[in-house]
Structure 1
Amino acid sequence: MSTSTAASSTQSHSLSVDVAIIGAGPSGSIAASLLHKQGKRVLVLEKQHFPRFSIGESLLPCCMQFIEEAGMLEALNAAGFQYKNGAAFRRDGVYTTFDFTDKFTPGPGTTFQVQRANFDKLLADTAASFGVEIRYGETVEAIDLSANPRLSVRNEQGELYQVEAQYVLDASGFGRVLPRLLDLETPSSLPTRSAIFTHVEDNISDPDFDRNKILISVHPQHQDIWYWLIPFSNGRCSLGVVAEPQLLARLEGDLEQQLLTIVKEEPGLKALLANAKVAQPCATLKGYSANVSRLATDKFALLGNAGEFLDPVFSSGVTIAMQSASMAAKCVLKQLNGDTVDWPAEYSAPLMQGVNTFRTYVQAWYDGRFQDVIFYENPNPKIKQMICSILAGYAWDVQNPFVKDSERRLNMVVELCRQEAELSTEPAVSELAEV
């Protein structure tokens, strides 16, 4: 029985649950499954109907441990998604790769590249198969935190009803429901950027093209303009470009014309996609970076993009979403079982450790520092493994020096690269380790 049908038959004007989750995307489905497995009554409220389009299609290996934790790994492995084992970067004709199995941090080294409409539906359907109740087409219009959290929810028939929960998780992604309702929005520390994207029938004939990796290409004249190309298992690719709005304003025509024009400005991408055909209408996302004044209290927590979204450049969004779901679920269980949770210390601060690590590398990508490291001709294998771990999503591994002290360690490597130092020698590694 579909979850939407089940929901309509059980709907009432007021109901009570242990945990209400806003949003059935990756963080919502993971959190719901984890809590349901521990015997908690969970209700997921999703505004849209699945499948629905979303970007964020290149997963990171770190995600796999959360998918397994939620009991969804078997379903994912059987779904036929595109295998992924790393990332490739190209700038000014220089091509380099990172193999995610050759990394510093233990854990999965491979994952998948997914069409999110199918991937998100798979996770939600798997959660529903465990017994999680998911109501689609439901909009959360208000929240009352004066006692136990109380949500005002409107269904597609226009009926308003109340959901009382002992705790609320906001997994609404870019919908950012609680930040809007509770006035938690704050400016992002990152500059405003825009993305234009689509899916293409790629028709790539180049035998050297590696479909097992995301390809990130840099614009030949503007190092802060970059493109993603994410191969899928069905002969399609996700194609997008990211830039500050003023750098896209020169482009003429509709979104498709703008995207194709700027793609042709990167010679390698132009050649690779010479026979590509746009497979769906182009879309744009503007000013997507976001932040909040508070991530969690003893009544609610924000997961994934609902809390903070950095940038798509290293595909960190779904990883942060799943990491936050796993961390929040543990804290919610502890609180529901009668123990006191210090939400800033036990959830917000540990989550932001990884988010801020990603932030270091996002900022350094756009100002060119991290690009100098990525495209360095003679990388030290040990340092590359540590950086590879972060690119694979392991941004919470404080045993990794490039996580624990991300800004300073990165700047040291940048300086060594720029001085053309021999990074492959042990003294260079020892020098980094001592600082």
Structure 2
Amino acid sequence: MNNPEQFDVVVIGAGPSGALASSLLVQKGWRVLVLEQQIFPRFTIGESLLPQCMEYLADANLVAPLHEHAASLGFQFKNGAAFHRSGENTAINFTEKSSPGPGTTYQVKRGLFDKLLADNAQLQGAVIRYQHSVKDYKVTDVFENSSDKNNTDKNGGATLLVHDAQQQPYQVQARFVLDASGFGRVLPKLLNLELPSNFPVRSAYFSHFVDNISDENFDRNKILITVHPEHRDIWYWLIPFSDGTASIGVVAESERFNDDEAEVILNRFLEQDPHLKALLAKRELIGPARSITGYSSNVSKLYGQHFALLGNAGEFLDPVFSSGVTIALKSASLIAPLVDQYLKGETIDFEQHYAKPLQAGVNCFRTFVTGWYDTRFQDVIFHTEQNKQVREMISAILAGYAWDTSNPFVAQSERRLNVLAQLCRT
């Protein structure tokens, strides 16, 4: 095997967190290689962005391309979330929130969205190699710059074994590695960091449709979340796009589903809710229906010797409030300046400045995801007499501002939700 190639940073995965982190780091002048196992565009879910995402994308010069190409790619303007439960309807407007920052965003086709971000990271200077898979990770004691023998990093780095599109092996050395591999969870698997999630094992069945929705009351500017009419732990998403198509899915604990084909299961559940059945009576399936099971995940640590985990590679909660991409982008936004300082020779406390701050927002989302399934938060959402100030605080969290500790429902999420749920139920 030839001498290893050398980069300052290797990013595993070209999804949103990988594109954001690599863009931020090449802007600082670092040599960044992105290794992506798949070919873009590729199908994935997580299509309803939260407004907080727009700030992170703007910081990496990625929001302007998004605005420029949104219409041509079928991305739908989004200003909130609508909810339906057994004849009850309510909605949250993200522009009416307590936290400062953007209040609107897009509902995106993730294959096209991810490619747009990756292409623009490449334009900024990141090297991206598609169909290249990381197979091994080993610590390197001293990282010697092959182009400058006088420039060595006594902190060392890591050597990665990579297979290219023809499955030919080669090695890459990096002073720091960021795992943005999403559900692939490359480093957690290689370094035995995976932990079981404390959420029940759930499954999601989903596909894209030509929705043919003719109901004039339907708001395409909002994701629609529908609670199953009989089982409140089962819910549906309906994410409209601007070209008349939509992403539609159902989520439940795995034992709720049988062994039928994904298309049969998805359509059966859509017929069980009268509101969705009527709304989507003329739907036309586009491509295959798909499923994913046991998607919630956790790890023993978010960083280690010469590496850090971003987004879903570290932890994924649940798709119910579309927090996945926001957490992924937040992780990239937090880690990039720390890696920049680390590469300059500064001593970085990744626990205090990365793991704890990131986890604080994740834990806030966790409170409301848990509250959704045990119905505390459902009762808050559908309560008819809502306090305007409290509603704006809840709107801020659902808009992605789960790190704004000036919001009492962020700073004390569990206690505040419990009190609010009791009041609503009373």
d(CA) in 2 for partners of 1:247, 1:159:
43
Partner AA of 1:101 in structure 2: T
1:260 aligns with one of 257, 264, 267: 267
d(CA) in 1 for partners of 2:193, 2:358:
17
Q: Which residue of 2 aligns with 1:198?
A: 207
Q: Which residue of 1 aligns with 2:195?
A: 186
Deviation at 1:253, TM superposition (A): 3.4
Are residue 118 (structure 1) and residue 112 (structure 2) matched?
Answer: yes
Partner AA of 1:97 in structure 2: A
Are residue 33 (structure 1) and residue 33 (structure 2) matched?
Answer: no
Q: Which residue of 1 aligns with 2:167?
A: 158
Q: Which residue of 2 aligns with 1:232?
A: 241
Residues 104 and 389 in structure 1, CA contact (< 8 A), matched pair in contact too: yes
Q: Which residue of 2 aligns with 1:414?
A: 421
1:127 aligns with one of 101, 121, 134: 121
330-339 or 194-203, which moves further after superposition?
Answer: 330-339
Residues 13 and 160 in structure 1, CA contact (< 8 A), matched pair in contact too: no
Deviation at 1:78, TM superposition (A): 1.1
d(CA) in 2 for partners of 1:231, 1:341:
43
TM-score normalised by L of structure 1:
0.92
Deviation at 1:234, TM superposition (A): 1.2
Deviation at 1:158, TM superposition (A): 2.2
Residues 168 and 299 in structure 1, CA contact (< 8 A), matched pair in contact too: yes
d(CA) in 2 for partners of 1:380, 1:12:
66
- SS of 1:174's equivalent in the other structure is helix
Judged with a 3 Å threshold, the aligned counterparts in structure 2 of structure 1 residues 12 and 61 are, in CA distance, closer, same or farther, namely farther
Deviation at 1:298, TM superposition (A): 4.3
Give the aligned CA root-mean-square deviation in angstroms. Answer: 1.1
Deviation at 1:13, TM superposition (A): 5.3
Q: Which residue of 1 aligns with 2:60?
A: 70
d(CA) in 1 for partners of 2:137, 2:253:
35
1:48 aligns with one of 34, 38, 47: 38
Deviation string, structure 1 residues 244-299 (Cα, Å, up to 9, x no partner)? 011123xx732111111111111110000000011110000000000000101241
Q: How does 1:347-366 map to 2 (within 5 A)?
A: 347-366=354-373
Q: Which residue of 1 aligns with 2:146?
A: none
- SS of 1:282's equivalent in the other structure is strand
Q: Which residue of 1 aligns with 2:407?
A: 400
Deviation string, structure 1 residues 395-428 (Cα, Å, up to 9, x no partner)? 0011100000000001010011111xxxxxxxxx
Q: How does 1:177-326 map to 2 (within 5 A)?
A: 177-249=186-258, 253-326=260-333
Q: Which residue of 2 aligns with 1:432?
A: none
d(CA) in 2 for partners of 1:14, 1:156:
18
- SS of 1:214's equivalent in the other structure is strand
- SS of 1:370's equivalent in the other structure is helix
Are residue 102 (structure 1) and residue 111 (structure 2) matched?
Answer: no
- SS of 1:239's equivalent in the other structure is strand
d(CA) in 2 for partners of 1:17, 1:150:
10
Residues 298 and 341 in structure 1, CA contact (< 8 A), matched pair in contact too: no
Are residue 332 (structure 1) and residue 339 (structure 2) matched?
Answer: yes
Q: Which residue of 2 aligns with 1:15?
A: 5
- SS of 1:264's equivalent in the other structure is helix
d(CA) in 2 for partners of 1:12, 1:219:
58
1:176 aligns with one of 170, 185, 200: 185
Residues 21 and 32 in structure 1, CA contact (< 8 A), matched pair in contact too: yes
Judged with a 3 Å threshold, the aligned counterparts in structure 2 of structure 1 residues 277 and 404 are, in CA distance, closer, same or farther, namely same
Deviation at 1:209, TM superposition (A): 0.5
Residues 139 and 305 in structure 2, CA contact (< 8 A), matched pair in contact too: no
d(CA) in 2 for partners of 1:274, 1:159:
50
d(CA) in 1 for partners of 2:38, 2:337:
27
- SS of 2:54's equivalent in the other structure is helix
Which residues of structure 1 form unaligned runs of 5+?
1-10, 420-435
- SS of 1:340's equivalent in the other structure is coil
TM-score normalised by L of structure 2:
0.94
d(CA) in 2 for partners of 1:13, 1:234:
49
Residues 230 and 239 in structure 1, CA contact (< 8 A), matched pair in contact too: yes
Deviation at 1:145, TM superposition (A): 1.8
- SS of 2:342's equivalent in the other structure is helix
Deviation at 1:146, TM superposition (A): 4.6
Partner AA of 1:57 in structure 2: E
Q: Normalized per residue, which structure has more strand?
A: 2
Residues 298 and 343 in structure 1, CA contact (< 8 A), matched pair in contact too: no
Partner AA of 2:19 in structure 1: S
Partner AA of 1:373 in structure 2: V
User: Among the aligned pairs, what percent are the same residue?
Assistant: 56
d(CA) in 2 for partners of 1:404, 1:207:
39
d(CA) in 2 for partners of 1:254, 1:45:
33
Residues 150 and 164 in structure 1, CA contact (< 8 A), matched pair in contact too: yes
- SS of 1:167's equivalent in the other structure is strand
d(CA) in 1 for partners of 2:179, 2:160:
12
